[in-house]
Amino acid sequence: MKKTLSQKNTLWTWKFIVLILINLTNGAAGQMTFPLVASFALDLGAELTVASSIAGIMSLIGMFMSPVAGVLSDRMNRKRLLMCTELLYALFLLGHAFATTIPFLVFLRAGTGVFFTINSVLTTAYASEFIPRDRMGEGLGYFGLVMPLAQAVGPALGLALRDAMGFGAAFVAACISTILSFVCVTILPYDAKAPQEGEKKHSLKLNDLFAVEFLSLMLLATLFSSANGLATTYLDILATERGIPNISLFFTAYAVALLIVKPITGRLQDKKGLYFVMIPAVVFAALGTFLVGVAYSLAMMVLAAVCRALGQGAGTPCLQAHTVRTLDASKAGVAVSTIVIGQNLGNALAPIGGSFFAESFGYEGMFCGMGVATLFIGMFLLVWNCLREKKAGLQ
């Protein structure tokens, strides 16, 4: 029986809900371990600089693994691949509970980064198969809402388990969360034909690893995540220096605002187009970062957090939805991974680069400068992409 038009346009199917659960349990598993790694490495005898480096390995691994994940997603049966990577992700998380040396911990974090990255790209590409193309912005907006939830619940749960029963209990709980993801994958039907089934495989090309036509949007994602990396790394230090109490409310305000704006901006993108959403997103991202630089009160910091949610938080999923919608459905993996590469690049490099700017210009100069750069570079990248799409006849 053929699907009716209304059935084809349905977003909230049980398959889409199961994929949201997979994304949530995967994200929670990662977030349970992120705040523990540095202190766990210190507990094993590492120096502070070594412990900090170990904590950042996953972002570095993710930067290089994202294009590989895109290729695997587009060339293999996504359900089978996801089942394998979920089990390996769970195994590496469980391995943390038995780590007794720094080299073994480094190996475990590297492996965790590999399978966390593949799972992140794969679940988004998989979800795009069950989202109507004319509702891609809204669908991926809802799909991405679980990350703020995971970021709100995961670290607190991991730290609580560590304090109550030790590091091992937290790592075992993260493993169990990933096993739940695996169970969800097994009950999910794979309706779509694997991209290469029954087709002649072509040799690997650059466009299989990275959607070159979306270089400008990838760089915009890098710009957004760079500002996010600076806030995550230096906000607590800045707040302490300025005597701002309860700075954790910055992240709470950001998460709450994100829960509200993501579905709205996704629907606006579907109806009005990418630039209707991204132009104000760049403005708000720039304003939010600039306000962090000049804020000397908690109220101003909360306002900055809301602006950042309206900017980077709402804008990045729209970039991803645009790439997925523009490319053929069989290339959803490379569409997703192209934006993820930009995110990982910013998260990995911004804290390092920020340290040099902070030493030279102070934290105020660093954040205000990043805000100004976000505005002008962001607008340039949008104009670049707009001109490219007009030339290609995509508008």
Tens-digit pLDDT profile for residues 215-261:
999 999 999 988 887 887 788 778 888 999 888 788 788 888 888 88
Do 253 and 377 contact (CB within 8 A), yes or no? no
Do 286 and 374 contact (CB within 8 A), yes or no? yes
In which residue are the tokens 């909230």 written?
Answer: 12
Task: Give me the number of domains the chain comprises.
Answer: 2
Amino acid identity of residue 148, one-letter, is P
Residue 207, pLDDT above cutoff 70: no
| 138 and 244 belong to one structural domain | no
- Whether residue 196 is contained in a domain is answered as no
Q: What is residue 86's predicted lDDT score, i.e. its pLDDT? A: 95
Picking from 86-95, 153-162, 200-209, 236-245, which range would have the lowest pLDDT averaged per residue? 200-209
pLDDT band at 384 (very low <50, low <70, confident <90, very high): very high
* CATH number of the domain residue 265 falls in: 1.20.1250.20
228 three-state secondary structure: helix
- Whether residue 388 is contained in a domain is answered as yes
Q: Of the candidates 148, 112, 129, which has an alpha carbon nearest to the alpha carbon of residue 188? A: 129
Q: Which of 41-55, 216-230, 237-251, 321-335 has the highest average model confidence (pLDDT)?
A: 216-230
| 278 and 130 belong to one structural domain | no
Of 143, 164, 190, which residue constitutes the final position of a domain? 190
Per the structure, the complete domain to which residue 213 belongs is given by 207-395
Q: Which residue has the higher pLDDT, 395 or 36?
A: 36
Percentage with pLDDT > 70 across the chain: 90
| 361 and 250 belong to one structural domain | yes
Q: What is residue 6's predicted lDDT score, i.e. its pLDDT? A: 47
- Whether residue 199 is contained in a domain is answered as no
| 220 and 181 belong to one structural domain | no
| 69 and 122 belong to one structural domain | yes
Of 159, 190, 221, which residue constitutes the final position of a domain? 190
| 234 and 138 belong to one structural domain | no
Query: Cα torsion at 58, 61, 67, 69 (round to 10°)?
Result: -60
| 183 and 136 belong to one structural domain | yes
- Whether residue 347 is contained in a domain is answered as yes
Instruction: Give DSSP secondary structure letters for 161-214.
Output: HHHHH-HHHHHHHHHHHHHHHHHHHHHS---SPPTTTTSPPPPP-HHHH--GGG
Tens-digit pLDDT profile for residues 128-187:
888 887 888 788 878 877 877 776 677 778 878 888 898 899 999 999 999 999 999 999
Of 190, 221, 252, which residue constitutes the final position of a domain? 190
Report CA 144 to chain centroid distance, whole Å.
8
- Whether residue 198 is contained in a domain is answered as no
Tens-digit pLDDT profile for residues 282-299:
999 999 999 999 999 999
Q: Of the candidates 346, 394, 343, which has an alpha carbon nearest to the alpha carbon of residue 370? A: 346
| 271 and 123 belong to one structural domain | no
Residue 1, pLDDT above cutoff 50: no
6-24 average pLDDT score:
81
Tokens of 389: 């799409």
- Whether residue 197 is contained in a domain is answered as no
| 163 and 236 belong to one structural domain | no
Structure pTM? 0.74
Report CA 357 to chain centroid distance, whole Å.
25
| 226 and 350 belong to one structural domain | yes
Q: Which residue has the higher pLDDT, 190 or 303?
A: 303
Query: Cα torsion at 150, 153, 154, 159 (round to 10°)?
Result: 160
| 228 and 182 belong to one structural domain | no
Amino acid identity of residue 145, one-letter, is L
- Whether residue 96 is contained in a domain is answered as yes
- Whether residue 202 is contained in a domain is answered as no
Q: What is residue 195's predicted lDDT score, i.e. its pLDDT? A: 45
| 237 and 384 belong to one structural domain | yes
